[in-house]
Structures are given as structure tokens and as C-alpha cells.
Structure 1
Amino acid sequence: MGLQNQLTDISTESIPILMITLIANCVACLRSILFDFFQTFGLKSVNVFDITTNMYQLDDSSCDSVGSGLTGVIMLADQLNQNRAQSYKYEGGASSSSSSSGLDCVVCLNGLDEGEHVRKLAACRHVFHKDCFEGWLDHLNFNCPLCRTPLVPDERVAFTKRRVAGDVLAWFGSL
């Protein structure tokens, strides 16, 4: 009598959800046990995890397929932060004398007026309006709008791709 009253509290629609959850947990536990068993006998998984660097060791094709979109977003965030930090108020002819772009912003084609926030690129020394350059970066252009000098070295992009791909695989591997 008491058992029937308790069973009516459980919805019949929730039983399949509970079964799926139970099966998923069993599969996860079985996967963990099998990986531990294989590691005990010296067999390694497909993705080799390096304990010293705390990252997965990946080839270039894995990095390109896993982390390319996230790498662009990370590079964009870094460049936008640099644009905000390295911008300054334009003071006339003093800062444009070393720039081959003259007194014009190549992005918007307007002149640089005194007191406007501008950014001078470190690699090529070209000067642009801060907001114009942010718009340029928003299109994931990581080079100078005038001479196409890269803002980020290729080695740094490759390292970030490997790091992001390793982090993504580590996150999914821990599930």
C-alpha cells in the first residue's frame, strides 16, 4: 500500500530520461576504466597528452581543424586590447613625420586632426584613427591596412592554434 503511493509520484515521462542518464554514466565509467587499463599495459590513446606542458601534442592538421576559429577570436581580442592601450591623442605633424601615410587615415581616407585618438603600428609605423583601426580588426584583418605588414608573427599564430586546439581537446577529453 505504501509502495504504490510512492510510485505514483514518479512521472512516467521521466523514466526514459533517467535511463538515458544512467546509460551515459555507465559508458563514461567504462571508457575511463578502459583507458586506465590500456595505459597500465603501455598503450597510448590517439591524442598524446604531455604532462610536462599540460597540453596535447598535436600535428598541424589537427590544430587547423580544431582551433582555427577560436584562434581568430583570441587574436582579435588581443589586438583590440592593444589598440585601446596603445592609442594616443594626435598632436599634429610630430608623430606623422616618420609615417609614410602622411596626414590621412588610409582606412577612412580622412585627415588626422589634432586631438583625435590614433594608433601607430609598431612594425611599420603607419598611423590610423583608433576607431577606424578597430573596424579593420573587426573583419579579422591582422595586418597593416596600408602595407600589409602582419601585426602578429606567424609563430605566435601557430603557437596559439596549438594551444587552443590542445585546450579544446583536453576539455572534451575530460567529459
Structure 2
Amino acid sequence: LLPYFPYAAPGGSGRRASETTVGCAICLDPLRRGQPCSEEPACRHTFHRDCVGAWARSSNTCPLCRVKIVVPRSDWAAAAHDMV
């Protein structure tokens, strides 16, 4: 699986919250501060960790742009550990 991180909403641009809401393209729910999320390294699209994990079981492409999902080499051991 892709590495994950707690989501931090974009901010500081002076926009209203409704203009900066980012959603998970898989489940369509908003990404909320602190939720575990993963970012596809090649295209930098961000999804809920569980959503992209389920997606990756049946597809090896980004749900948005269809670029091939590649787990960074340094994360292979962690990904293998998560599978056990």
C-alpha cells in the first residue's frame, strides 16, 4: 500500500472553506483534518487511506487520472508488513 499521513486541509489563501474543500474521488466524502490519507506519488492525487487501499486491490491505476500506481521503493517493506 501507499504510505499514509494525517490529512491537513489547505489553507491560508483567504478563501472560504467551501472553496477549498477537497474530496476523496473514490467515496466522494470530504477529506477531513486528521483522517489517514494516501497520496499517489506520480500524480499527487490524495484519497482516504482505506478507499485507495480497497481500490488498489482491483486496480493499479489512479482513480482520477489513471496513471500507474507505484509504491515508492523505500516503502516496499512497510507495504509488505501491512499485508500480513
Is the TM value for this pair above 0.5?
A: yes
RMSD of the TM alignment (CA)? 1.3
Could you tell me the TM-score, scaled by structure 2's length?
A: 0.67
SS at match of 2:30: coil
State the shift of 1:138 in Å. Answer: 1.5
1:150 aligns with 2:64: no
Q: What does residue 21 of structure 1 align with? A: none
1:93 aligns with 2:20: no
SS at match of 2:28: coil
Could you tell me the TM-score, scaled by structure 1's length?
A: 0.33
Runs of 4+ off more than 4 Å: none
Q: What does residue 82 of structure 2 align with? A: none
State the shift of 1:137 in Å. Answer: 1.0
State the shift of 1:151 in Å. Answer: 1.4
State the shift of 1:108 in Å. Answer: 0.3
The equivalent position to 1:107 in structure 2, one of 17, 23, 26, is: 26
Q: Bigger radius of gyration, 1 or 2? A: 1
Q: Which has a greater percent of helix?
A: 1
Structure 2: 5+ residue stretches without partners: 12-20, 71-84
Structure 1: 5+ residue stretches without partners: 1-79, 95-101, 153-175
Q: Which amino acid aligns with 1:145?
A: P
